[in-house]
Chain A
Amino acid sequence: MTLLIRSQAERTAPPARRRRRLSSHSLMGPVMAAPALILLAVFLAIPFLGAIAMSFYRLQLNSTRAPRFIGLEQYSRLFADPDISAAFLHSLGNNFTFAAVVVPVQTALALGLALLVNGKLRGMAVFRTMFFMPLVFPLALVAVVWRLIFARDDHGLLNSAISLFTGGSVGPHDWLGSSATAMGAIIVMSIWQSVSFQMIILLGGLQAVPHDLYEAASLDRAGRWSQFLHVTVPGIRNTLIFVALLTTVFSFRLFDQVYLLGQSGSVDIESTQTMMYQVITTGYDQNNIGQGAAMAVVFLVIVTIVAVIQRRLVRQEGSIR
């Protein structure tokens, strides 16, 4: 994600020679950057190093026992201690399932929707407004509304709709409570809330594609589909990559919906818990901060690996082009 942004930034950067002329205030630079940098150090960099340090200790809040150094034990437990590793590995798997579905589906859907709302059409403003509305919904509220939509028995909106369309032949289903559909329900919920964000970014990309390219293509008798493949997709390639990377990083942070629904007892925990859910329940709910910190470190390593792999893939593809 960041590398992509950087390379774009460098391309638009003015030549270094010019920039130097503005740089007489050599002390002002660090002074102006200082507030943000100090805050970032205190609230991001130091806690990040703190997480690594804490993961080597047995640590509890408000405990009379002093922190005890236990080396790599927390890490080995994540993979060997049956009490901890089963839930942890399960969460890890759930994270990958979520990302594997959400990243391609949401990106493709966002592109489809962006194409759909691109261009002028009577009433388009109304449709766009409807599409964008979920964006301002905080996840705490999304969880409330969808909990009612997915409610078990025939009082749930979804069950009631299904029963109407099938003439009552399909009975009610406990969407969130059943292990078979719980993750699917969370996926639908989270795509509903955030797909328009990706759609807006792609819409911006679509509108930046030079118009004469389409004119040239239609002179060449290219059909709509072939224009899409040979003009639109290459034209928004960078935006598309940006959106996919963004979605991937976000998909690994899945926490709010799962935790909110978990607290209410309406969701099947085992099939929906994620790494972040494990980190918080272990560290906060069970007051086992060292173990939670170890999970957070593993979580971060995995997020970084995924980001790096994606970047590699993207770069290779770029060099072929």
Chain B
Amino acid sequence: MTRVRSIKRSRLLSGTGRYALLVFFGLIFFVPVYYLLVGSLRPGDKVLGGLSALVPSDLSLDNYAGVFNRFSNDTTGYVWQFAGVSLAVTAMVVLGGLLVNSLAGYALARMKWRGRNIVLLLVTIMTIIPFEAVALPLYYMLSGQRNTLYVQALPFLANAFSIFLFYTYFLSIPVEVEEAATIDGAGPVRTLFQVVAPMSLPAYATVAILTFLGQWGQYLWPVLMITDTKLRPLPLELSVFQNAQPPEWGPVLAFGVLFVLPVLVVFLIFQRSFVASVASSGVKG
């Protein structure tokens, strides 16, 4: 009974109209994805064939073989190399970011120290400064560190917005839980990681997902800092590849699939928790 009513209440449209809209938007979101997948499996000259490019015919893995053949020596770099750079940098940023930002969020939410309020205010202000605005001075300051792996990760470890997400989440946890741990003699670091963190998985998941997606697609910073083929992350190499003359669309799309497929698969598996954690972060702030 309640369920029937809740279904009725949540929709402004009747069933058929609703399905029509769902199909319409579903196609809009899905067709480009499908186009990428099918195009990556078809001969390069048929990728740009108007609507016929959507017909899954002449499928083969030639484009994928083409990608691996093309990137097979030290001048062009190797596919596994680009992927390795992206993976290493992203792992550093996600794991390091979870650690330092949650520590800071906890210190701000639960501990009393001189200057805490000023730091909180400064962190708040820093959430407004987009990285893009400081990219150029950073590029100038760090020009001696160009073409290194760590310089791709370091500027993104600490993130004011992540600190804030942790801060607000930790505030919402009842303080009594930690009091027991404190009475047992646990220090704040132990309390954070043994008591608070396990209760704050949605916050950790949200920060991890948002950081991962942002970092996996990071383009501006590598453009400025990386010229060495060996250290190019995937997005940078993809843009170099797509601008090669003449463009080889088949292999370019295959490269794109290699770039996004791992993420897409992980996303499909964890979709439910992904959506739940992002949604809760928005509601909580």
Q: Interface on A for B, CB 8 Å cutoff?
A: 1-6, 8-9, 12-14, 18-30, 32-33, 35-40, 43-48, 50-51, 54, 59, 61-62, 113, 115-121, 123-124, 126-141, 143-149, 151, 154-157, 159-161, 163-164, 192, 196-197, 200-208, 211, 214-215, 218, 224-225, 227-228, 239, 242-243, 249, 252-253, 255-256, 259-260, 263-264, 276, 279-280, 283-284, 289, 292-293, 296-297, 299-300, 303-304, 307
Contact = CB atoms under 8 A, between A and B. Distances in A.
Given A61-B143, A119-B10, A239-B283, A32 B35 contact: no
Chain A binding surface, main DSSP class = helix
B243 A289 contact: no
Contacts of A160: 50-52
Contact of B179 (A22, A202, A292): A22
Contacts of A279: 132, 135-136
Contact of A39 (B157, B171, B278): B157
A1 B130 CA distance: 13
A204 B128 contact: no
A47 B141 contact: yes
Interface of B: 3, 5-7, 9-12, 15, 18-19, 21-23, 25-26, 28-30, 32-33, 35-36, 39, 47-54, 99-101, 103-104, 106-108, 110-116, 119, 122-141, 143, 154-158, 160, 163-164, 167-168, 171-172, 174-175, 178-179, 182, 187-189, 192, 213, 216-217, 219-220, 223-224, 234-236, 238-239, 242-243, 249, 252-253, 256, 259-260, 263-264, 267-268, 271, 274-276, 278-285
A84 to B, nearest CB: 16
Contact of B50 (A156, A211, A259): A156
Nearest to A188: B28
B220 to A, nearest CB: 6
B113 A30 contact: yes
Chain B binding surface, main DSSP class = helix
Contacts of A296: 132-137
B111 A25 contact: yes
B15 to A, nearest CB: 8
Contact of A116 (B22, B100, B135, B243): B22
Nearest to B217: A138
A47 B53 CA distance: 47
Nearest to B276: A204
- From B47, B104, B133, B172, residue with most partner A Cβ within 10 Å: B133
A214 B9 contact: yes
A55 to B, nearest CB: 9
A124 B111 CA distance: 45
Contact of A21 (B52, B179, B271): B179
Contacts of B282: 200-202, 204-205, 239, 242-243
- From B242, B249, B276, residue with most partner A Cβ within 10 Å: B242
A204 B112 contact: no
Contacts of A132: 29, 267, 271, 274-275
Contacts of A139: 217, 219, 235
Nearest to B113: A29
Given A127-B22, A138-B235, A148-B249, A48 B134 contact: yes
B33 A133 contact: yes
Contacts of B104: 32-33, 35-37
A136 B29 CA distance: 12
B216 A138 contact: yes
- From A24, A39, A115, A140, residue with most partner B Cβ within 10 Å: A140
Contacts of B281: 201
B112 A20 contact: yes
B192 to A, nearest CB: 8
B168 A303 contact: no
A218 B100 CA distance: 49
B178 A22 contact: yes
B273 to A, nearest CB: 12
8 contacts: A8-B284, A14-B175, A19-B110, A51-B134, A113-B25, A133-B29, A136-B260, A242-B285
B160 to A, nearest CB: 6
Contacts of B99: 35
A135 to B, nearest CB: 7
Given A5-B285, A28-B189, A35-B158, A144 B238 contact: yes
B32 A32 contact: no
Given A33-B119, A140-B238, A214-B9, A28 B188 contact: yes
A126 B143 CA distance: 47
Contacts of A140: 217, 219, 234-236, 238-239, 259
A129 B271 contact: yes
Given A32-B111, A264-B243, A293-B136, 12 more contacts: A36-B157, A45-B122, A51-B134, A115-B10, A119-B6, A130-B26, A201-B279, A204-B283, A249-B128, A252-B130, A259-B223, A304-B128
Nearest to A121: B18
